[in-house]
């Protein structure tokens, strides 16, 4: 088993790379590190790559990149994956600041990339927009959430943090409640991408910026049940659902087996569980009619 430590960045295919670069610069608040006719990479104010954009025919989530321990040998990673029946390859100079990575695919052809240790990539200009702290999590549709939970658990050491009935699973690789989620749907594609903010003040500024840019908040602010993060949702120019959040649950000690106690938890202690029925959220509005329709069509 490979122990994934952190989610690092996500790669999107886009039919309009200039429009997406503008969105990530002026709304999410990332800085351009590299840019050519077919690809751009963008980093946070902490100089971590967060988003890679590739020109293509159809908007899609192409690749998730995770970090493993800095002392892991790439040949060993490939051998470990091979023993699990997964074909992997070592890439040289795949990204700015990254000399090598390992690339393979999950059981629904999502590309998974592993980097060893920290890397930093400095943007050409100071960031603007919301200046989100980092990529927080990626939620994907899958035909089989249980199979996805087993694959990411068995191969990459993700742990189940919560289920919503048998349709949506939240998985952690570090102490954050979730870095990947899987929702039952017709096939593998993006459910939403989430960027972390610092606090309520940062969220307030994000709402004001979305308002000034006339980008509709489709849901929230809401404090969720699973993960207990405070979240808002809007859509990027390619139609992807984007979440901005803060205050996500953390499991500091795996052996204790519960999330750090918070005043808004219903369960004391709050352990991983299956959430059944509504209402699930602690407070906040229900999703807008537009978002509810979007979800209905997706499933
Ligand atoms: Fe989320």
Task: Please write the tens of the pLDDT for every residue from 253-281.
Answer: 999 999 999 999 999 999 999 999 989 99
Whether 95 is in a domain gets the answer yes
pLDDT at 126 over 70: yes
Query: Of the residues 83, 116, 149, which one is the last residue of a structural domain?
Result: 116
Whether 122 is in a domain gets the answer no
For every residue of 31-42, DSSP letters joined together read EEEEE-SSEEEE
Residues 156 and 265 in one domain: yes
Report CA(243)–ligand 1 centroid distance (Å): 6
State the SS3 of 245-259: EECCCECCCCCCCCE
Whether 126 is in a domain gets the answer no
Q: Is the dihedral of CA 44, 46, 47, 52 positive or negative?
A: negative
What CATH number is associated with residue 280?
Answer: 3.10.180.10
CB atoms within 10 A of CB 58: 9
Residues 153 and 292 in one domain: yes
Average pLDDT (47-71) is: 97
Residues 102 and 138 in one domain: no
pLDDT at 117 over 90: no
Contact 121, 93 (CB under 8 A): no
Residue % of the chain over a pLDDT of 90 = 89
Whether 218 is in a domain gets the answer yes
Q: Which of 232, 142, 140 is nearest to 179 (CA)?
A: 140
Report CA(198)–ligand 1 centroid distance (Å): 16
Given pLDDT bands bounded at 50, 70 and 90, which one contains residue 298?
low
Residues 109 and 175 in one domain: no
Number of domains in the chain: 2
Report CA(154)–ligand 1 centroid distance (Å): 23
Q: What is the rounded distance in angstroms from the CA atom of residue 114 to the CA atom of residue 104?
A: 9
| Domain range enclosing 52 | 4-116
Report CA(213)–ligand 1 centroid distance (Å): 22
Whether 27 is in a domain gets the answer yes
CB atoms within 10 A of CB 250: 16
């Amino acid at each position: 088993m490979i122990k994934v430590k952190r989610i690092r960045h996500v790669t999107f295919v886009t039919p309009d790379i200039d429009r997406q670069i503008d969105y990530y610069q002026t709304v999410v608040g990332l800085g351009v590190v590299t840019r050519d006719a077919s690809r751009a990479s963008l980093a946070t104010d902490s100089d971590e790559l967060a988003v890679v954009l590739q020109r293509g025919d159809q908007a899609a989530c192409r690749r998730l990149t995770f970090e493993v321990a800095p002392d892991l040998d790439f040949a060993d990673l490939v051998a470990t994956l091979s023993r699990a029946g997964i074909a992997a390859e070592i890439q040289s100079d795949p990204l700015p600041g990254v000399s090598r990575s390992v690339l393979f695919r999950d059981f629904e052809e999502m590309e998974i990339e592993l980097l060893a240790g920290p890397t930093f990539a400095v943007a050409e200009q100071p960031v603007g927009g919301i200046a989100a702290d980092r990529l927080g999590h990626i939620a994907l549709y899958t035909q089989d959430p249980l199979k996805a939970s087993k694959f990411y658990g068995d191969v990459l050491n993700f742990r189940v943090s919560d289920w919503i009935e048998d349709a949506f699973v939240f998985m952690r690789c570090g102490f954050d409640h979730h870095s990947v989620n899987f929702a039952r749907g017709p096939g593998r594609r993006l459910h939403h991408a989430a960027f972390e903010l610092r606090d309520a003040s940062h969220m307030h500024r994000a709402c004001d910026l979305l308002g000034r840019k006339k980008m509709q908040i489709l849901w929230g602010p809401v404090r969720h049940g699973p993960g207990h993060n405070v979240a808002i949702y809007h859509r990027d120019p390619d139609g992807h659902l984007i979440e901005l959040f803060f205050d996500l649950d953390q499991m500091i000690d795996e052996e204790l087996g519960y999330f750090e106690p918070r005043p808004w938890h219903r369960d004391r202690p709050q352990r991983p569980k299956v959430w059944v029925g509504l209402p699930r959220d602690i407070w906040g509005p229900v999703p807008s009619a537009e978002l509810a329709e979007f979800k209905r069509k997706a499933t």
